[in-house]
Amino acid sequence: MYLHRFGIYCLLPLLLLTRPALCQVADSSIRKVNVQGALNFRDLGGYTTADGHHVKWHVLYRSADISKLTPADLDTLNTRHIVYDVDLRGVQESAKAPDKLNAGTDYILCPAGSDSLNAAMFKNLAGMTSGGDSMMMVWYANTAYLTARYKPFFGKLFVVPSGDALLFHCTAGKDRTGIAAALLLYALGVPYETIRQDYAATNYYRASDNDRAISSMTAMHIGEPVVRAMMSANPQYLDAAFDAIRRQYGSIDNYLQQQLGLDQQHLTLLRQKFLE
């Protein structure tokens, strides 16, 4: 019985991926950035837009926490010209584990809502044995802090010079980073199904660390189903965020224009900058 359960849990990250998403994983040899001190560090390039363009390689990167980068990892960032860093963590998170960066890196913290939302989420976890998916759906459907968190992120995208690259990340590289990647890819014209696949691929890139996190959090008397829901990059979570935006603003396009300042002129500039 134990071996059967262990086998299912090992397969979970792959079972959560759609077949097209497995294709995204298949190109991990060029997408994954091999660093020792960070997880889920990958290139956002290569995705095909609805009109046949492609997101440029080697200019946009997403990751989890980068507070443990080694000197060799920093050399990798330097080689890849990653000199812009958008930190989507909260003030407390970033203070406890400051980003490791090369000298001269342009750093910005976008903490809106993170400290309060994290505190609210973890407040009642002890003893919780079910309802993890519902909790995550509620978290993703909360639009209160989206604009304050992501408008500075998009603003930074416009100032990255040609030849330089930008990294954005949070702690797990899954939730806040997943929404940032989704909004960016949407703004660039990437179809939503592809966006979901990029989001779900986190289950592959974080598989080994998720197992360790699950073991650690269940030891804190949090039910395993709850922890697994929290650690999962379930595409339905992303759907909840996009559905909430549509309910409030009428469409994702309206949100981009009204809240993030991405009118047609700015969208054109963004696409000229990051598409080929």
Task: Please tell me the predicted confidence (pLDDT) of residue 15.
Answer: 43
Task: Please tell me the predicted confidence (pLDDT) of residue 156.
Answer: 98
Contact 102, 77 (CB under 8 A): yes
Catalytic position from the list 10, 23, 110, 170: 170
**Domains along the sequence of the chain with CATH:** 2-274 (3.90.190.10)
Task: Please tell me the predicted confidence (pLDDT) of residue 25.
Answer: 64
Amino acid (1-letter code) at residue 62: R
Nearest to 85 by CA among 116, 74, 34: 74
Contacts of 98 (CB under 8 A, 6+ apart): 67
Q: What is the DSSP string of the chain?
A: -HHHHHHHHHHHHHHTS-HHHHHHHHTHHHHB---SS-SS-EE-TTPBPTTS-BBPTTSEEEES--TT--HHHHHHHHHTTEEEEEE-S-HHHHHHSPPP--TT-EEEE--TTHHHHHHHHHHT-TT--S-HHHHHHHHHT--TTHHHHHHHHHHHHTTPPTT-EEEEE-SSSSSHHHHHHHHHHHHTT--HHHHHHHHHTHHHHTHHHHHHHHHHHHTTT--HHHHHHHH---HHHHHHHHHHHHHHHSSHHHHHHHTT---HHHHHHHHHHHB-
Known catalytic residue at 170: yes
Q: What is the DSSP string of 198-218?
A: HHHTHHHHTHHHHHHHHHHHH
Query: pTM of this prediction?
Result: 0.88
- What would the pLDDT profile of 100-140 be if each residue is shown by its tens digit? 999 999 999 999 988 877 666 666 666 666 678 898 999 99
Amino acid (1-letter code) at residue 214: I
Low-confidence ranges of the chain (pLDDT < 70): 1-26, 118-130, 217, 219-221
